[in-house]
Amino acid sequence: MDDRLPWNEREGIIYGCIIASISSLLIGGFNVYSNTGYSIDRFGEFVMNYLVIWPVIFIVAFTFASTVVERVAGMVVGRFAAPTDSVNAHIVMNIVVCVLMMSATMSLVGGIVGETIGFLMGGPSVNVVELVANWTKIWPRNFCIAFWVEMLIAQPIARTVMVRMHAVNMKHDMAVTDST
């Protein structure tokens, strides 16, 4: 087993929460910031407003990633990556499949959720037709942003947490074994 990846369901949830929280915070935050007309001098106001929306975006992203994307990515990686391929090859292929699915879906769903919350907070009404029409412009940008956020920030942080968790668990297991 690779110590950079989750070994059980509990660790998988922690791993997924780390990735979903970082991704939804950075990617969702960028989208809201760039699509709502905030300027740098109103960044503090933006942060306060986004922190109201962010938990909902996180829940949607984590739920979709852990129920649909994780399973599909596992099937795709299992089909196209050979068992003899390196762990890094499996990780990169998994990232590409997950980012493709999440960015495509969240480009639409995230917009609907975000605009609905914005509407409930007194903003303009949700225009689903416009969101669907703009999807072809929004998705490629979101894919590029999501790919680099996953490769350079979210995944490395989640893998570092897994390595540290496994080190602590192994140290604890060794201490228990030595004491018996």
Sequence ranges of the domains in the chain: 9-179
- Number of residues in the chain: 180
Residue 127 has pLDDT above 90, yes or no: no
Q: Give how far Cα 100 sits from Cα of 40, 111, 141, 174, Å.
A: 30, 17, 12, 41
pLDDT of residue 150: 94
* pLDDT digit string, tens, across residues 40-66: 888 888 888 888 888 988 999 999 999
d(CA 4, CA 91): 10
d(CA 127, CA 115): 8
Query: Which residues, in sequence order, are CB contacts of 100 under 8 Å at separation 6+?
Result: 143
From the list 114, 97, 102, 94, the residue with the least C-alpha distance to 142 is 102
d(CA 164, CA 98): 24
Average pLDDT of the chain to the nearest whole number: 88
d(CA 68, CA 81): 20
- Quickly tell me which residue has 């029409």 as its tokens: 133
- Quickly tell me which residue has 């292929």 as its tokens: 93
* pLDDT digit string, tens, across residues 160-173: 999 999 999 888 87
pLDDT of residue 68: 94
- Is the pTM here over 0.85, yes or no? no
pLDDT of residue 53: 83
* pLDDT digit string, tens, across residues 86-124: 989 999 999 999 999 999 999 888 778 777 776 776 667
d(CA 97, CA 81): 12
pLDDT of residue 16: 94
